[in-house]
Amino acid sequence: MIEVVDGQRQLKDCKRIVVKIGSSLLTANGQGLDIAAISHWAKQIAVLHNAGHEIILVSSGAVAEGMVRMKLINRPTDLPSLQACAAIGQMGLIQTWSSVLEKHAIQTAQVLLTHDDLADRRRYLNSCDALQHLIDWQVIPVINENDTVSTDEIRFGDNDTLAAMVAGQVHADLLIILTDQQGMFDSDPRSNPNAKLFHTVRALDESLFDMAGGGGKFGRGGMLTKVRAARLAAKSGCPTLIASGESDQVLARLMSGELLGTLFITDNDRMTAHQQWLAAHLQTAGRLVLDDGAVNAIKDNHRSLLPVGVKAVEGHFDRGDVVECVDSQGGRVAVGRVNFSSRSADIVKGLSSDKVYQVLGEARSLEMIHRDHMAIY
């Protein structure tokens, strides 16, 4: 856990760092890429790189750049137009990063990811291997969502979520999310001048969701998405720093331990690599609605899900598929690989373990989802 000693965060052991920079910090108020700003970021990244840190960059800005190149005033709302803008703008985005970092003798690599890349086990592991090789070669991966081929139902939705997933994927020591906001406040600072900035919070604190707000014009992520991203990263054992990219030399100051922004610290529990892969599923084959007892057993005690705790089965899935577990209000509880098909699950839902074998008439695991094959939200 990162400690604060004499007013300084102790970040010296954070070697592998995922840095996510939002659209508002890379564009001229949404009017195309701000080359001067990106050059400035390159200098800061180069300082960390040359100091021995392994930097993985998650960069927004493709859609905003595409909008300008196509002379669009308002951000498109339909998926095909967004995909087209992303395809057009991504060219300029990666060329700019390559050019500015090359001036510091740093090689870059473009990595475009979709949900399917992380949901498919083989592709997930392949991308892990590719990223590790790039890091070993001291190349900085420049990662963005592959908007051009993503479908609306299974998009990451914002690069905050993507950055958190990548942080887990590469076993990062720290995730830094740079934005146009100073950090996490106890209320909206735009409407409350007395809002208090938190320097340190627990990433899994449920009350944080009530304090978060919405996104901006040229990006998709507001503070709510950043809180969710910090929570996801924490499940992988990675702390998150959310800070204002408008602060001078913010990366160097953060890594020196200065109390800028908000640090989201992790708890002791850490997902296994398999559980991290499960958590990467934004789309699942079906849903299991749980009773309160099952929800508490899973969230508080990390127990396996038994058929007796299932109230309803939704969707059509086979044994071994990844399904979502929700509470009676539809809130996400966990995701996991199910030991029953939807047909069998519907038959045994609500039954005690001693009756499952009697009803199905075949040898079967007593767990609907074993805890080792479950990622808890």
* 48-65 CB burial, b ≥16 within 10 A, e <16: bbeeebbbbbbbbbbbbb
Can you give the CATH number for the domain in which 338 is found? Answer: 2.30.130.10
Residues 342, 367, single domain; the answer is yes
Give the DSSP letter string of 135-157.
HHTT-EEEEEE-TTT--GGG---
pLDDT surpasses 80 at 214: no
What does the DSSP 8-state code read for residue 103?
T
- pLDDT (tens digit per residue) in 54-86: 999 999 888 889 999 999 988 888 888 988 998
Residue 316 lies inside a defined structural domain of this protein = yes
Kind and range of the H or E run holding 36: helix 35-50
> What is the identity of the amino acid at 320?
G
- Name the residue with tokens 């990467």: 280
Residues 38, 169, single domain; the answer is yes
* 304-321 CB burial, b ≥16 within 10 A, e <16: bbbbbbbeebeeebeeeb
Residues 237, 290, single domain; the answer is no
Give the pLDDT of residue 6: 62
Of 261, 99, 232, the residue nearest 167 (C-alpha): 232
- pLDDT (tens digit per residue) in 331-348: 989 999 999 999 999 999
Residues 151, 108, single domain; the answer is yes
Distance CA 173, CA 24 (A): 25
Q: How far is CA 299 from CA 42, 203, 211, 296, 326, in A?
A: 42, 15, 22, 5, 11
Distance CA 109, CA 136 (A): 13
Residue 253 lies inside a defined structural domain of this protein = yes
pLDDT tier at 151, thresholds 50, 70, 90? low
- pLDDT (tens digit per residue) in 251-285: 999 999 998 999 999 876 678 888 888 887 878 99
Query: Against a cut of 0.95, is the pTM above it?
Result: no
Can you give the CATH number for the domain in which 172 is found? Answer: 3.40.1160.10
Residues 21, 145, single domain; the answer is yes
- pLDDT (tens digit per residue) in 101-144: 999 999 999 999 988 888 888 898 999 999 999 999 999 999 99
- Name the residue with tokens 């509470």: 327
* Other CB atoms within 10 Å distance of the CB of residue 227: 24
The average pLDDT across 149-173 equals 80
pLDDT surpasses 60 at 152: no
The residues that bridge with 144 in the sheet, in sequence order, are 112
Residue 1 lies inside a defined structural domain of this protein = no
Distance CA 336, CA 314 (A): 15
Distance CA 332, CA 310 (A): 14
Which of 247, 275, 303 is a domain's end point?
275
In terms of residue numbers, what domain contains 213?
9-275
Count the domains in the chain: 2
User: Which strands make up the sheet holding 108-113, listed edge to edge?
Assistant: 108-113, 140-145, 54-59, 16-21, 174-179, 240-244, 262-265, 200-202
Residues 172, 254, single domain; the answer is yes
pLDDT surpasses 80 at 158: no
Distance CA 61, CA 376 (A): 32
Residue 4 lies inside a defined structural domain of this protein = no
The average pLDDT across 173-183 equals 93
- pLDDT (tens digit per residue) in 234-243: 988 899 999 9
Burial class of residue 247, CB neighbours in 10 A (0-12, 13-18, 19+): middle
pLDDT tier at 215, thresholds 50, 70, 90? very low
Residues 228, 295, single domain; the answer is no
- For 358, residues 6+ apart whose C-beta sits below 8 A from its C-beta are none
Which of 256, 275, 294 is a domain's end point?
275
Which of 214, 247, 275 is a domain's end point?
275
> What is the identity of the amino acid at 232?
L
Residues 256, 347, single domain; the answer is no
> What is the identity of the amino acid at 290?
L
Query: Regarding predicted confidence, which is higher, 74 or 291?
Result: 291
The token pair at 309 is 């705790």
Give the pLDDT of residue 362: 62
Residues 296, 195, single domain; the answer is no
The token pair at 143 is 């990662």
Residue 3 lies inside a defined structural domain of this protein = no
pLDDT surpasses 70 at 42: yes
pLDDT surpasses 70 at 216: no
